[in-house]
Amino acid sequence: MFNSRNPACRYPTGAVADCLPVHFKIDMPRDLHCSAARLLVRSDSTGEVQTLEMFWCGMNGDNHEWWECHFAAQTPDLYFYHFEVTTWRGVLNLHKGFGGEGTVMGSDTQEWQLTVYDRSFHTPEWPVGGVMYQIFPDRFFASGSPKKEVLEDRRLHADWTEQPEWKPNKKGEVTNSDYFGGDLPGIAEKLDYLQSLGVTCLYLNPIFEAHANHRYNTANYEKIDPLLGTEEDFRTLCSEAEKRGIRLLLDGVFSHTGSDSIYFNREGRYDTAGAYNSQESPYYPWYAFRRWPDDYACWWNFQTLPEVTETNPAYNAYINGKGGIVRRWLEAGASGWRLDVADELPDAFLDALRTAVKTEKPDALVLGEVWEDASTKSAYGKRRRYLLGGQLDSVMNYPFREAVLGFVRGEDPAQMMEMILNLLENYPPQVIRLLMNHIGTHDTERALTVLAGEPAEEHDRPWQAEATLTEEQRRLGVQRLKLASLMQFTLPGIPCIYYGDEAGMEGYKDPFNRGTYPWGRENAELLAWYRQLGKLRAVLSCLKEGRFTPLNADDHTIAYVREDSVDAVLVALNAGENPRTLYLPDEWRTAQPVFGEAPDRNCGLTLPPCSGAALVLQKHPSPSGPFPLGKPETPEEAVESIKDKIIENIERNPKIKNELLDFLKNI
């Protein structure tokens, strides 16, 4: 009778701008003798329900008839709707069922959602179609610059390959005070490597002065942590990255500070009087003391993380005002902010932060950490309005992570596809194109471990610390990770690689998922695969904002198409243990395979167990000729390619060639 994802029933589908009319049509069987139909729309913010009479508008074949109406929301909001129809059986309620379809069966009273956003809502262009890469700065690469003078009470590991400390000290505390020395100059040294992966945006976990290796306990927002480098190092990193088409996204931790900070100063490290030291401190009004100085509000009851009152005028001005923290670091070279625990930041603070960001740099990105469907997220008893146009540009996409990893591990493909389609229906298109699609972060187990290891909840921390994948598990994990990453790189949004996933890193949650990057010990097969995925993102127009059309979701298999006016890609994935053959529409008969094999003459695509395929169609001839992406290199081919490049460079440079010949003669 109705399907919210079918343009014949609802046009346009998905989220819409305010004041844009939405056309609703329901298809009623004639044998119900429908005499009236109504659309009931409820505003989420006011609770007001509008009843719109629907009109008979013609036959759909001999046995069905159409009823229709229009609805236009005048203000950005969430709206929830269902239908009432008067029939010979009485008044029937048409509610949302699986897949967006309408149902009058059972007791399910779920309503459809219509997200209406501000028509002036715009998001940056530069991230669209790119690749993000998340770096935990202490663990990526150490430049070798001297560190002794900035260690103080920090312990620097002697061996880069050691495991991070995880055991409590004698007081039963986990201090996170062990470091490996990764720094900003080290990241700058590896920019060519990041460019080889197709990276266009670097997301850095916190880099400001703090007294734990994760740096989520900020000590001074105005200063780069000395173990990471200086402000000059940061500016150089931004400048060098930009030369390679890479922008930087900073982590903004604004819901709390560290107790060991110039603002609170509980540990007495700083000469300034913090809120803990004096009620006359300029920082005292930032915090909520129940009884000064030891009883105060803190983040998730961690005494080392005192919460700030974000709406305090002085704090808000310090972060969001002219010359404040947000604008200062954008001026220094950053291209946006990722907001830690965005659901714990008040609306007024988020409004002010967006204004500050867009005033300083209109194309800067504001990305929020939200673990659920951000369009319906409630926090502190209030529905949040992150995505309606005045706050976030987009969010970290944890629901997609659940869908991707769930599918690859054998969960119901139809349910996993439904999770994807629900978000695509609920989010504004300008949010969708910037979704941070990750399959692992510093807060989750490594993707390889999730896909092939034993569930973390079945084992204690000592077991997790010692656990590594067996050779058989690792082979399976690599296969599954290739499948998951192919899906990750081709869904709407922007894929984000958690540093080292492309190298085959494994590990359970913090700190086991925060090991050091294994330079020189990478999994060559995975690395070649990720580089090929990066090339795919770079050359396909449809992966920027192309339509998403599901083709199949059953029996361990998912298939879908991304398409725009320039090109199209069909992605087919088999997570099962047996081969599957999918029969494709005829137009894909001549498609070029970039992953997997080409369809046979009957347009059947055979997928081996735990494998995927990507087929590309070009709608218009490319000026550069055929689609510029070959099959992925094997590790052996990659080595030969490197050899060829070395020889080619030697031949081009006579001086190097002569020096090499002299060297060979001497030995």
Instruction: Give residue 421's region: left, alpha or beta (phi > 0; psi -120 to 50).
Output: alpha
Active site residue 369: yes
* Cα–Cα distance list, 560 to 153, 397, 548, 553 (Å): 53, 19, 7, 9
CB 516 within 8 A of CB 536: no
CA neighbours closer than 13 Å in the CB half-sphere of residue 665: 6
Task: Give the position of tokens 């049509």.
Answer: 25
| DSSP code, position 580 | E
Geometric angle at alpha carbon 431, from 426 and 432, rounded to 5°: 70
CB 204 within 8 A of CB 251: yes
Measured over the CA atoms of residue 283, residue 287, residue 293 and residue 298, the dihedral's sign is negative
Going by C-alpha positions, the residue among 202, 203, 123 that lies closest to residue 386 is: 123
Task: Give the position of tokens 């060098």.
Answer: 240
Q: Does residue 293 have a cis bond before it (omega within 30 degrees)?
A: yes
User: Does residue 581 sit in helix, strand or coil?
Assistant: strand
Active-site annotation holder among 65, 369, 425, 563: 369
Q: How far apart are CA 4 and CA 12, in angstroms?
A: 9
Beta bridge partners of 179: 156
Residues 6 or more apart whose CB falls under 8 angstroms from that of 330 comprise 336, 357, 360, 361, 364
Active site residue 27: no
Radius of gyration of the chain (CA): 27
Going by C-alpha positions, the residue among 617, 593, 588, 618 that lies closest to residue 604 is: 588
CB 190 within 8 A of CB 199: no
Question: 407-424 burial by CB neighbour count: b if 16+ within 10 A, else e?
Answer: bbeeeebeebbbbbbbbb
Kindly report each contact of residues 396-399 with a partner whose C-beta sits within 8 Å and lies 24 or more positions away, as own/partner: 396/338, 396/367, 396/368, 396/369, 396/370, 396/371, 396/436, 396/438, 396/441, 397/423, 397/435, 397/436, 397/437, 397/438, 397/493, 398/370, 398/371, 398/372, 399/372, 399/373, 399/423
| Concatenated DSSP letters of 267-290 | T--SSS--TTT-TTSTTGGGB-EE
Helix (H) / strand (E) element for 368: namely strand 365-368
Residue 346 CB neighbour total at 10 angstroms:
17
Active-site annotation holder among 138, 260, 307, 340: 340
CB 533 within 8 A of CB 486: yes
Q: How far apart are CA 150 and CA 206, in angstroms?
A: 18
CB 54 within 8 A of CB 69: yes
| Concatenated DSSP letters of 41-82 | EEETTT--EEEEEEEEEEESSSSEEEEEEEE--SSSEEEEEE
Q: Supply the residues annotated as catalytic.
A: 340, 369
